[in-house]
Structure 1
Amino acid sequence: MQKRMRNFDGVPGCSMEAALHILGGKWKGVILYHLFTDGTLRFGELFRALRGINQRLLTRQLRELEEHGLITRKVYPVVPPHVEYSLTEEGRTLHDLIMGLSVWGRGWLERRGMRTAKDEDFDVLKHAAEKRPVLPDKS
């Protein structure tokens, strides 16, 4: 199944344009980061983890990540609805990029004497960045 290339009138100008189209914006990388560090999450758990996002924007970002094949959305037929989000195999290929950006961001903050609102253990973060997800064998 070929994924849509929303907002492209044809072929992207270069591979970087395609990558930034898919991952661009303030929240997509943060959503992926939390799915890497916390595993499968419900909508409410993601909403609480992302400081400053509104529900409508989170819904839109999740839909776009799903359209691009990076996450899956599983709906459980219960009342109230129970929806979980998790990384796809393709999404897991972004592990080194997303976790590497997180480690770089932490170092950038520390070099300026700054901290994040969430007290992250830098050693745990570095360990998570070094831990590669196991991908299914294609053979």
Structure 2
Amino acid sequence: MPQQVAITRKSEPMLSKLIRRIAVVFAIQIGLIDYCSGQIVAPTRGTATASLEDQLINRLRATTEDRQAYIRLVVAQVDAGVFDRRRILALERYAIKKNSSFPFPFFERVMRAEAERVGVFLPPVQLLARSNSGTRP
């Protein structure tokens, strides 16, 4: 004969505590689903693709103002027709392939070679850092 498990007074609080925990977890999950669905942000520009500047800053992990200024300078040169956009994107992919966690130094190195090939002076980030240091508050 199968044994019947009797619920004693000691096991009742543990059982109710378990039921309360399950109910709380369930309530949190329901709440988080509604909360997370509201966190999806629509693009601000309304375009399907990011601009070259946004793409380079984000994918090359340019976190400092100096590195972002360097990328803005490169994008300005692309807009002026000095550099080819497809070539810059290829150099970006190369830098990411070389070191995906910290690609910016590799991008700067290959951009220096590209600028030399085209015959344009592209200042290093350190020079931009020195020129921007006096303008910051």
Shorter-chain TM range is under 0.3
Normalised by the length of structure 1, the TM-score is: 0.25
More strand by percentage: 1
RCO (CA 8 Å, sep 6+): is it higher in 1 or 2?
1
